[in-house]
A and B are shown apart, each in its own frame.
Chain A
């Protein structure tokens, strides 16, 4: 594996499957009475969050703590960051604290990549601007494999031939970027569906298909992933009204009925119920939304374990 996890493209197929398999093993450990593993004892993981994201931060925090790492939460609010300290100076501070890994969430695309120039520890991208969110893609892939490739023989397997349709604001979605790259690495066939205004420029250079017709794609999907659409996109003329967006791209019960019987519905959260996804769809049996959250912790444990486990042994 690469030294850092900035992009889903940093993972080759073996890396990605290794993470999923490790997550499976850790999930089994979760079932045992002792939930805490000693693997990362003595190592420090810093959660450096420049954006409010309770769900991702607590997921990483739980993952690190279950591996016995020391966790420092460093958030933009109430710290020197709010006083205008630069990312570099913050990085040097974390370096002085002896951070073995920095988990960073930042509103600017590329901030995690810049951070790698200034810290000696591992850097894990927990979402940067409209760039990537690789651990979200890993937990999504884990969830897909769990639901679609059931049974013990899924160990070592990718997602070959699985048809995944990602719907919504792809242009601004770091989740979509990471999923396209990771799912392609794992052999899935990805199709993006969005209004043309929210489809990235030069999407034809991405390892996926792209289209505008959700109904046609749903009929041939094993997975449909709905992306959050922000209402403020309306003011920038990406679409006329929320009502029209919902009508053309929202997933309601009648659209869900177009899916093959085995297909699952995913959403990275937080959801806009009644906009991109109807409440009855979000709460249906096909929805994996709650499972995604639970899987987030185990997949992040696997990432920390594989990236830092060697460091812990070396320091022992």
Chain B
């Protein structure tokens, strides 16, 4: 049954208030003083309307680690965070390296119905870095995979990386690289710097990320293929990507909300909530990432939502799992790090959290500016809601490993619509 909504007085990407009619899955009308005409009216005065957010980097954990997250709980968390599409990373158990697994994940997403789930296919069999997975079979499957990544592991073999970049050109695919030189990061625990040195934790040098990004940019240029750089974390990486883009090479990049806000000194008490890969870096890196996101060197924000059960984090630092949840806090973190600092306006946020990630992921039906005739995927955000501390216990994600717990963040996701159907209303899922 198709819902019909009249969203009254929303500021489209922060502009003048407009009424938006959602009918038959599309934005049928935008204007002022529109009549309800049978539609359910939502008073959106004071709210900002954004195109539905698209995440290029989500770990939904199903199949295999349903104790951490399921497609159902993860996509509910996504909708509550204002997302209408997410890319489910391939490091499940079994690994999403066959048409069968990616179709399973895609169907689970379809059944859950909160957001569109776009499975990411593994580049290599079992994320082993030795042999290409059947990339074409995944591309041709019902899941229509276009983004391929061994995320969690780097495709370190330069020849294999070159071949992967070339091979996916046949179906307009993109290789999303987790840039981490493995030999330079053996046993690495925390950004190699003053904090890791003092804590006696093995360092994760910035050069280990930058060396791979530089190599991959050269390879992508050589074979004229599309490279996407996952979770850029250092100022040096920004410089390399800026250089590659200046050459006109097909390189795109993402940054996570946590790398836009948090720094390695938070690990001072060995609090494992702050253990993540790539690691939290320095204040200088955070500043460079923010400015790169502003000037477009970094195309988009991607959450790297990485849920873990409590026991995976309640350990000594070296034994703890890498990763942080992020779907339900991403927009609020970007609000604090980019909008409150004056670096981005809301149109800029829409570009970096919806339009660009949808384009990079080749996601049709998402990432369209809010215009008449566009698919009715949109998010209503209350930017005026004062700062409130993050409470992971209230999150829909199955896991609680938020690095922002207790941190006051501004704003609140009010409502989310997927093809004209409300998935979230007034901060609550509709079912």
Chain B contacts for A88, CB-based, 8 A:
314-315
- A70-124 with Cβ < 8 A to chain B: 86-88, 106, 108-111, 113-114
- B168-205 with Cβ < 8 A to chain A: 189, 192-194, 196-203
The answer to whether the Cβ of A131 comes within 8 Å of any Cβ in the partner chain is yes
- Please give me the residue from chain B that is nearest to A173 by CB atom: B200
- Cross-interface CB contact of B269 among A106, A113, A201, A203, cutoff 8 Å: A113
Assess the A109–B314 pair: CB atoms within 8 A. no
In the docked arrangement, what's the CA distance between A87 and B316, Å?
7
Chain A contacts for B201, CB-based, 8 A:
109-110, 129-131
Assess the B315–A203 pair: CB atoms within 8 A. no
In the docked arrangement, what's the CA distance between A132 and B197, Å?
11
- Cross-interface CB contact of B203 among A174, A201, A203, cutoff 8 Å: A201
Chain B contacts for A200, CB-based, 8 A:
197
The answer to whether the Cβ of B16 comes within 8 Å of any Cβ in the partner chain is no
Assess the A129–B318 pair: CB atoms within 8 A. yes
1/0 per residue B47-72: CB within 8 Å of A?
00000000000000000000000000
Chain A contacts for B315, CB-based, 8 A:
86-88, 114
In the docked arrangement, what's the CA distance between A86 and B319, Å?
10
B270, B314, B317 — most chain A CB neighbours (10 Å): B270
In the complex with contacts A86-B315, A88-B314, A88-B315, A110-B199 CB distance below 8 A:
yes
B189, B199, B319 — most chain A CB neighbours (10 Å): B199
Chain B contacts for A228, CB-based, 8 A:
none
Chain B contacts for A174, CB-based, 8 A:
200
Assess the A202–B197 pair: CB atoms within 8 A. yes
The answer to whether the Cβ of A217 comes within 8 Å of any Cβ in the partner chain is no
Assess the A201–B197 pair: CB atoms within 8 A. yes
Q: With both chains docked as a complex, state the minimum distance between the C-beta of A111 and any C-beta of chain B, in angstroms.
A: 4
Chain B contacts for A111, CB-based, 8 A:
316-317
In the docked arrangement, what's the CA distance between A111 and B317, Å?
7
The answer to whether the Cβ of A177 comes within 8 Å of any Cβ in the partner chain is yes
The answer to whether the Cβ of B157 comes within 8 Å of any Cβ in the partner chain is no
The answer to whether the Cβ of A140 comes within 8 Å of any Cβ in the partner chain is no
Count of B interface residues, CB-CB < 8 Å: 22
Assess the B196–A114 pair: CB atoms within 8 A. no
Assess the B197–A109 pair: CB atoms within 8 A. no
In the complex with contacts A128-B200, A130-B200, A202-B193 CB distance below 8 A:
yes
Chain B contacts for A109, CB-based, 8 A:
189, 199-201, 270, 317-318
Assess the B317–A110 pair: CB atoms within 8 A. yes
- A164-183 with Cβ < 8 A to chain B: 174, 177
- B296-327 with Cβ < 8 A to chain A: 311, 314-319
In the docked arrangement, what's the CA distance between A88 and B315, Å?
7
Assess the B197–A108 pair: CB atoms within 8 A. no
- Cross-interface CB contact of A108 among B194, B314, B317, cutoff 8 Å: B317
Chain A contacts for B311, CB-based, 8 A:
86
- Please give me the residue from chain B that is nearest to A118 by CB atom: B314
The answer to whether the Cβ of A315 comes within 8 Å of any Cβ in the partner chain is no
In the complex with contacts A108-B316, A110-B270, A129-B200 CB distance below 8 A:
yes
Chain B contacts for A54, CB-based, 8 A:
none
- Please give me the residue from chain A that is nearest to B267 by CB atom: A110
In the docked arrangement, what's the CA distance between A110 and B311, Å?
17
- Please give me the residue from chain A that is nearest to B317 by CB atom: A110
- B188-229 with Cβ < 8 A to chain A: 189, 192-194, 196-203
- Please give me the residue from chain A that is nearest to B202 by CB atom: A130
- Please give me the residue from chain B that is nearest to A172 by CB atom: B200
- A254-268 with Cβ < 8 A to chain B: none
In the complex with contacts A86-B311, A113-B269, A201-B192, A177-B200 CB distance below 8 A:
yes
- Please give me the residue from chain B that is nearest to A200 by CB atom: B197
In the docked arrangement, what's the CA distance between A226 and B235, Å?
38
The answer to whether the Cβ of A205 comes within 8 Å of any Cβ in the partner chain is yes
Assess the B318–A108 pair: CB atoms within 8 A. yes
In the docked arrangement, what's the CA distance between A174 and B201, Å?
11
- B99-135 with Cβ < 8 A to chain A: none
B202, B203, B311, B316 — most chain A CB neighbours (10 Å): B316
- Cross-interface CB contact of A86 among B193, B270, B314, cutoff 8 Å: B314
- Please give me the residue from chain B that is nearest to A131 by CB atom: B200
Q: With both chains docked as a complex, state the minimum distance between the C-beta of A269 and any C-beta of chain B, in angstroms.
A: 19
- Please give me the residue from chain B that is nearest to A181 by CB atom: B198
- Please give me the residue from chain A that is nearest to B194 by CB atom: A202
In the docked arrangement, what's the CA distance between A113 and B192, Å?
21
In the docked arrangement, what's the CA distance between A132 and B316, Å?
15
Q: With both chains docked as a complex, state the minimum distance between the C-beta of A90 and any C-beta of chain B, in angstroms.
A: 11
1/0 per residue A200-216: CB within 8 Å of B?
11110110000000000
- Please give me the residue from chain B that is nearest to A205 by CB atom: B194
In the docked arrangement, what's the CA distance between A111 and B315, Å?
8
Q: With both chains docked as a complex, state the minimum distance between the C-beta of B114 and any C-beta of chain A, in angstroms.
A: 34
- Please give me the residue from chain A that is nearest to B269 by CB atom: A113
In the docked arrangement, what's the CA distance between A34 and B210, Å?
65
Chain A contacts for B269, CB-based, 8 A:
113
Chain B contacts for A114, CB-based, 8 A:
270, 272, 315-317
Q: With both chains docked as a complex, state the minimum distance between the C-beta of B185 and any C-beta of chain A, in angstroms.
A: 13
Chain A contacts for B196, CB-based, 8 A:
201
Q: With both chains docked as a complex, state the minimum distance between the C-beta of A141 and any C-beta of chain B, in angstroms.
A: 20
Q: With both chains docked as a complex, state the minimum distance between the C-beta of A176 and any C-beta of chain B, in angstroms.
A: 10
B192, B272, B314 — most chain A CB neighbours (10 Å): B314
Q: With both chains docked as a complex, state the minimum distance between the C-beta of A98 and any C-beta of chain B, in angstroms.
A: 22
Q: With both chains docked as a complex, state the minimum distance between the C-beta of B34 and any C-beta of chain A, in angstroms.
A: 56
A108, A110, A177 — most chain B CB neighbours (10 Å): A110
4 A-B pairs closest in CB distance: A131-B200, A110-B270, A130-B200, A108-B316
* Chain A interface residues (CB < 8 Å from chain B): 86-88, 106, 108-111, 113-114, 128-132, 174, 177, 200-203, 205-206
A-B contact pairs, 14 of them (CB 8 A): A86-B314, A88-B314, A106-B316, A110-B317, A110-B318, A111-B316, A111-B317, A114-B272, A174-B200, A201-B193, A201-B194, A201-B203, A203-B197, A205-B197
4 additional A-B residue pairs with CB within 8 Å, beyond A108-B319, A201-B194: A86-B315, A88-B315, A109-B318, A110-B201
